[in-house]
Structure 1
Amino acid sequence: MRRGFASQYIRLEDTSDEGIHLRRVVVELCPLGHQHRPRALDNLARILALRFQQHGSIDDLDTSIQLRREAVSLCPEGHADRACYLNNLALSLTYRFNDQGKPNDLDEAISLYEEGLRLHPVGHQYRDTPLDNLGLALISRFNKRGDIEDITRAISLFREALTLCPPGHPRRDITLNNLALALDTRYRKLDVIEDLNEAIDLYRESLRLKRRDHPERNSSLVNLSASLCSRFTQTRENEDIEEAINLCRESLVALSSLHPGRWFSYRWLKAAYLVRYRVLRNPADLSRAIENFRLASVHPTQGFPNRIQTALHWVTEAENHQHDSSLEAYQMCFELFDSHVMTRSSIISRREAATAFRGAQSLPVDAASCAIRRHNLRQAVELVEQGRGQQWSLASRLRTPLEDLTSASPQLAEKLLGLNMRLSHAQGSAGNANPAAADRAATEYRILTRQWDAAVTEIRDLKAFSRFLLPPSYEDLQAAARQGPVIIFIASQYSCSAIIVPTLGEPHHLPLPSVTLTDLNNLKDRFARAIRHASIMGPKLPRNDLIVLLRTVWEEIMLPIVNVLEHVLELKHGSRIWLCPTAAFTSIPLHAAHPFQTRADRSKEPCLEDLYICSYTPTLSALVRSRQMMKKRITPSFVTIGQGQPGTGKGKALLAVDSELELVHKLVPATANRTTISGDAATRAGALKALEENTWVHLACHGKQDPTQPYNSHFVMRDEHLTLLDIMEKHIPHAEFAFLSACHTAVGDKETPDEVIHLAAGLQFSGFKSVIGTLWEVDDSVAKHVVKAFYENLFDGLEEGGVMDCTKAAWALNRATHAVKTKVPLEQRMVFVHIGV
């Protein structure tokens, strides 16, 4: 990113607390209806925006935007000052886009600049200003979306503006710089050297017009430096790269330690050192580049998007050059992502923030792979856990059990609990609110977040609470393996492998040398095709393609792991194991791995589910959390919820649902409080209430995973959809077990597979410790056979006084799939998976 110079209508002024206070007083003296209120609002907004640029407080910028929205609203079309206030509001929105990365801010800014330009027709004295500002916003959008029309139009706007700023014009240096920036941006897209050469000439002319004390001189220095770096990669002329490095050094000398411009200097200085290292191979240049990566990543005056992009680039270069800083770079990425996502006040906008960076989705597994290559398996487990499931981790912070803290400090526990409740209420979706209301909600949310951070800091000062809510250590995570080993499957571009976390002792690493990330992606695609093909085949026809794929999973993935479980850990057959897949592994039915071959001299070789009772867990922390919540148990109540007749356009009728509900109701022990909700009563509200009021749930209906917005994944009820977001907003700490007899309830989305955002995970997050979900479409006519066998095994013997135990669910599912082999086709037996305790 290089810097363009936006134009403001009013000069920069003092941003001291006293200056801001005086402007607030002026606003109070200009009540609604006062002719000078728009100007008073804009003056205060301008100072707050300037203070944001100096100190980075997003609240200042949000307040600036709110004030400028009001100023624009008070100047309808035809008002003499409307163009001024449109420009200034757009400018503040552009600042926030650069800091927060919200696309809507940029689109709104461009619309405002467009209107401002229409109010400055050809011949207007100040037409160059809206031309410049609109051009800069188009460059930003081009960098975000890559539409060549945006950059082509930006160049045209700047050329027109330059004709309006002949030599001697006070704003000529601004337009020279902006035209150079646009040409340089197009060069990086189209690689036309004439664009780059012209950009360098324009940057030089712009720099000559700036005195040494000019506030934007440092920006011109780094912009010229960046272009000279680009030309050096083409020409290998040493004077270009030497000048580029010296320009960045000159800019750093002139800037204070917390000046926002230092980030640009660090960014382009590391680029210059990297370019020279690639040509001359001097290790000192690589070290200097890494140090500037580090400085740019932590520089506090830049918004998280810029710092995250820098850290991601640091990861790439450290990996490419096998530099010792690679693990530090990964850790920096996780910390920045965590902080960035926490600034978002809604669950949906958090996912948008997490998916906005190309290449970031593979960070958890790549970090783990890096730690494995450094022979640090404990750190590999910690990193893959820290980087995965961040959406759940952030939300879980607001539901942390506070029993231990209550014993140590009741006042702090009460304070944090109150903040948790207020934050949970404030983080609602808020996606449909108008922009002004959304801005106010975001500001209120961040105020609460800072109060929450302060409370957590206070708690960490207590003895025995120093790691309160910090990323878990290996010792913390190993608690997930208390009742059986957890196998983490690492699917990285650098290596594919598995890490077995045992109940005691050190983790075990199993390389999977015959498996690459490309192989895994091909394998999951082949599974998807095979499942679709099986769904249109008759139940009597053989599933040859599925058999081949499951044999591949057995031989290339699971057999090496089974060998370690048997011969190293000496795990007895019939023991529990937990599978924790990442990335491409999340779309492969690992639990169904099978050799599918019979030898003449002995009986059929056992498959994975013959050897062990398999469960899945989204993350190790999720399993630990579910186990902790098992301590509190209440008298069980069981509800069956079914919707076989959804509304018009919501899917075909499910004719077997009612009989399935009757079957389950009969199999549930009479000692449990049993209820059934179906037909007209199975509405969104009715189902939510039933989830909250019961500890055991069986849900039979249509289920749908939304591939583009996973929080909209839902169960189909009679009236409205029961969405994942609805479920997540409920807290049901006494819930125990849920059987989701619906389609696609345990598969995540393609964009962020390691966030594990699906319906089964949502129920686990809300409080259900043990969940059975589905990986693909369920045939309701055969699912009832699995359901019947499952509950018969789960509740066997309970009529004689036994206790309903959700920890037996994985074993009962294992027994059920064996029992229905002659009745249910392969793809419908393996569709059900167990998640949790």
Structure 2
Amino acid sequence: MASVSSRQSPEQQEEERRERARLRLLQQQVRERASRRLRGDARAGSDTRPDMDRLTAAVARAKPGTRRRAAAVTALSAELLLRFRRSPEKDVADLVTAIRLLSEGAGGRTGGAAAGRRHAVDDARVERIVGSGSAADAARVALLVECCEEWEAFERVAPPGGWGTDMGQVPDLDVLRRRLAGMAGAPARQRVRMLHACGRVRAASDGPGAGYEDMVAAVALLPRTTGWGAPPGGPGSATEQVALKAAVTADAAACAIAAGRPVEAIELLETGRGVVWDQLLHATIRAELRAVNRRLARRMDRACRDLERPGRSGEAPDRYAERDVAAERNARPDTPSAEVARRWGLVLRLTEKGAARRERRWARAAGRAQGLLPDATFQTVSYLSDIRPAAAEGPVVAVILSRFGCHALLVTAEEDAPRVVPLPALTLRAAQRNARGYLTALNELTGAEREARVQATLHWLWETVVAPVFTALAPPGRTGESGGGELPRLWWCPSGPLAVLPLHAAAPRPVAGGVRGGAGERVVSSYTPTLRSLISARKARDLRRNSGSGDQGGNRGDRDRLLLVSAGGRAGHQALPATARFRDFLTGLLPEDVLTTLHGAQATTGNVKRALGRHGRVHFDCHGRQDPVSPERTGLVLHDQDLTIADLAEVRARRPEFAFLAACSTAAPDRMDLDEMISVTSVLHYRGYQSVIGTMSPVLDTSTERVAKAVYGRLTESRPDARPDSPPVSAATLLHDAVSRERLRRPRHPSAWVPFIHVGV
């Protein structure tokens, strides 16, 4: 030790002396707090960790540069970071100590620095910090990134004189993130977060287009965790992963637009949204693959575990993989496959040999799984085959909401690329503010105050989103002006906080001499969670038309019956008098051979799940419930318990076709986290129901009763046999007409008719 000290400068020796003093002080503080806890002193604090002193002693005993030292440093730093985050006082010494310990790297000791300045570590030092790329190194670097992010945020609120602590030499945060993104031992979800953060930094400093490459690499890694990744709770939970993937997707699409790549923007958006929905229904996706091909499902499980398993140290880059990527790019430079190869080339350059082999095994298995389950997202989607067909019956408007710009992408059947419509008046913060205000008005306000807030939201949506879109599309009026023909169809695919707002009901402000027509007077609006789910619904509808053309008379199964679930009297919930009235209306309207009724004590979760498996059409007349913490527990209130999204994901209906959810808030996402639209309405459509009617927010049961009666009344009037054989074909138009009558009936009460939406074909 003396020989080492003799080679150190006085500043380095003083720094080590201070470090040892801090560790001794930390040990003393930990012992004092532990003693107070043993004595029952309430001031000990809930954040005291019993083994903090043991970890501190382990670091002091371990020899620098050894694996034992690295493991002890990582464990102690994790406890220090946790205590810093939990402590109300925010002791800076905890964070500083953690950063200095983690910055040791493979060398085992920290370097000196000039007082009062923060220095970036050179490339050689970064290499020592990163080490060999093993699991232990990846965990240590990931923890160092977290600590540096905390310090960066803490510095923004520092007093004028600073915190009185010299950090010394610390690695550049952006460099650390990039190295962590390329470490074979880092989990894929962590690498996605690092690439997203690097892209954000570049986009903020050099413009959104500069973040394109990092964002593309992040989205390219998303599909491989589809349905195989996040634990059910805690860090990395499904809810947290949904929020991360939604942010990555929106930012990647915005950067692609800034880089002049609209086709890539819609492909990135659709890929990310598909992964988000598969993440929500990951158990079902895995079960479906197992039902189709059990051996392939096991192979996918192994491939995912291998991808999350750390690589061995010392592995060299896979030059063969890079050569294959380069050959594909040079052989066909103008084809979509070359573009995909270019994207994956960036990912492969960030991986090592073993990880690259695991990537290829996953890609081969994912390609086979994609062919068996075309609606799932195992690979990056293609615009021509997976996106443009969604506009076969009308344009689709995908709205991108990102900190790097807000745009609408207009997908039409005639154009080879989506049309980009800038939305300069729309910002992410404004959307969040209006979404929360709108939900607060519908859930908590009453009377004129509520209606005024809803009306203001409709005006804001018109000015910021809908009017620019309509200007670009120039939608025609009714076909057959004198005869009052049908309005054209339009599908909305919103993202982020816009998913809770009623784009279909947006309206301009009144003008002198009359009122200009809003969205409801110009188009029949529908929604879709992803464009591929809309394509699949149309294929299922056309297949049913062709295969069902020969069904005659009573030669129909349960799948042609309508299931009515009437559960309006559960204890602890407000009574729904309209439930009984609508049940009497429907039983009088439809013959017994096409209607199955579960009401009262019969409307249990078990009975409903079994009946859903046999019926292709269903009408729910009950309360809805939104879970503010776990969106997957959002559901419908039945007689015994809630029928949640997780329950619905397990149901395998035979040729599902139509659903009407006459329940409050069935289409409202989590009010606490507006990252993505996760609702019963959209889940049913994503699970195969071709056409779904739901409510976006709380609505009076009397209004729901009138709208439902109008829809079913018109539906049966149009058929001579009084059978609801094709509700998906006309459900959107029927709902639009019913809501239009409700709007004329109560023009000053938009909360009575705005919440109704249609999802699907």
When normalised by structure 1's length, the TM-score is 0.63
Q: CA deviation at 1:162?
A: 7.6
Q: Deviation of residue 614 (structure 1)?
A: 0.3
- Are 2:437 and 1:526 aligned? yes
The 5 A counterparts of 1:80-479 are: 150=47, 156-158=53-55, 181=77, 218=106, 220=108, 224=110, 235-236=116-117, 241=120, 245-249=123-127, 261=137, 293-304=177-188, 306-322=190-206, 326-340=211-225, 342-344=227-229, 352-353=237-238, 355=240, 361-393=246-278, 395=281, 416-419=292-295, 456=365, 459=368, 469-475=378-384, 476-479=386-389
Check 1:622–1:452 CA distance in 2 against 1; reply closer, same or farther (3 A cut). Answer: farther
Q: Do the aligned partners of residues 707 and 419 (structure 1) sit closer, same or farther apart at CA in structure 2, a change above 3 Å counting?
A: farther
Q: 1:795/1:349 Cα in 2 relative to 1: closer, same or farther (>3 Å)?
A: farther
Give the aligned CA root-mean-square deviation in angstroms: 5.0
Which secondary structure state, in structure 1, belongs to the residue aligned with residue 464 of structure 2? Answer: helix
Q: Deviations over 1:164-205 (max 9, x none)?
A: x5999x99967995798489859987897877887899899x
1:710-729 maps to which residues of 2 (within 5 A)?
A: 710-729=631-650
1:814 maps to which of 721, 730, 736: 736
How many Å apart are 1:509 and its aligned residue?
A: 1.4
CA pair 789-303 structure 1, distance change in 2 beyond 3 A: same
Return the alpha-carbon distance in structure 2 between the equivalents of residues 296 and 639 of structure 1. Answer: 53
One-letter amino acid of the counterpart of residue 204, structure 2: N
**Residue aligned with 2:597, SS:** strand
Paired amino acid for 1:715: L
Task: Using CA pairs under 8 Å that are at least 6 residues apart, name the structure with larger relative contact order, 1 or 2.
Answer: 2
Match of 1:496 in 2: 406
- 1:342-370 per-position Cα deviation (integer Å, ceiling 9, x unaligned): 43487779982450698654222111111
Q: 1:782 aligns with which of 681, 685, 703?
A: 703
- In 2, the alpha carbon distance for the partners of 1:350 and 1:265 equals 17
1:16-35 → structure 2 map (5 Å cutoff): none
| Structure 2 Cα separation of the partners of residues 738 and 390 of structure 1 | 24
Deviation at 1:690?
2.2
* Alignment CA distance shift 1:815-1:396 (3 Å): farther
SS at match of 2:611: helix
571, 574, 584: which is aligned to 1:662? Answer: 584
Cross-structure match for 1:543: 451
Q: Which amino acid aligns with 2:421?
A: L
CA contact 2:626–2:635 (8 Å) conserved in 1:
yes
The one-letter code of the counterpart of 1:220 is G
Please state how far the C-alpha of 1:260 moved relative to its aligned partner.
5.4
Corresponding letter in the other structure for 2:569: Q
Is the contact made by 1:728 and 1:765 (CA closer than 8 Å) also made in structure 2? no
1:565 matched to 2:473: yes
Q: Deviations over 1:535-568 (max 9, x none)?
A: x439xx993333233222222321111111217x
**Contact 1:155 / 1:182 at 8 angstroms: preserved in 2?**
no
Measure the CA separation in 1 of the matches of 2:737 and 2:71.
Answer: 74
Other-structure match for 1:107: none
* Secondary structure in 2 matching 1:317: helix
- Match of 1:701? 622
Maintained 8 Å contact 1:245/1:269:
no
Structure 1: state its 5+ residue gaps. Answer: 1-127, 139-146, 208-216, 276-287, 403-412, 427-448
Select between 519-528 and 614-623 the one with higher mean Cα deviation.
519-528
1:583 maps to which of 496, 511, 515: 496
Paired residue secondary structure (1:384): helix
Q: Provide the residue aligned with 2:551 in structure 1.
A: none
Q: Deviations over 1:102-142 (max 9, x none)?
A: xxxxxxxxxxxxxxxxxxxxxxxxxx9xx99x99xx9xxxx
**Aligned match of 1:109:** none
Distance across 2 between alignment mates of 1:197 and 1:638: 65
| Distance (Å, rounded) in 2 between the aligned partners of 1:424 and 1:300 | 19
Q: CA deviation at 1:386?
A: 1.7
Query: Relative to 1, partners in 2 of residues 1:352 and 1:595: Cα closer, same or farther, differing over 3 Å?
Result: same
- Report how far residue 735 of structure 1 moved: 1.2
Unaligned runs of 5+ in 2: 1-23, 35-43, 152-171, 303-357, 480-485, 549-555
2:750 partner amino acid = L
Q: Residues 628, 785 of structure 1: CA spacing in aligned structure 2 closer, same or farther, 3 A cutoff?
A: same
Q: Judge conservation of contact 1:747–1:776 (CA < 8 Å) in 2.
A: yes
SS in 1 for 2:206: coil
**Post-superposition shift, 1:302?**
2.5
CA pair 689-514 structure 1, distance change in 2 beyond 3 A: same
Q: Which amino acid aligns with 1:516?
A: T
Say whether the 8 Å CA contact 1:248–1:269 is kept in structure 2.
no
SS of equivalent residue, structure 1 residue 799: coil
Q: Distance in 2 between matches of 1:176 and 1:371?
A: 43
Give the conservation status (yes or no) of the 8 Å contact 2:505–2:519.
Answer: yes
State the 1:754 CA deviation: 4.7
Cα separation, 2, equivalents of 1:351 and 1:250: 28
| Compared CA separation, residues 658 and 512, structure 1 to 2 (3 A) | same
CA distance in 2, matches of 1:461, 1:698: 32
**Equivalence for 1:758:** 679
Residue equivalent to 1:23: none
Letter in 1 for 2:463: E
Please name the residue that 2:760 is paired with: 836
2-structure distance, mates of 1:620, 1:583: 16
> CA contact under 8 A between 1:478 and 1:501: conserved in structure 2?
yes
Show CA shifts across 1:584-624 (max 9, x none): 10121111111252542xx5321111110000111112212
Q: Write the letter of the residue equivalent to 2:685.
A: Q
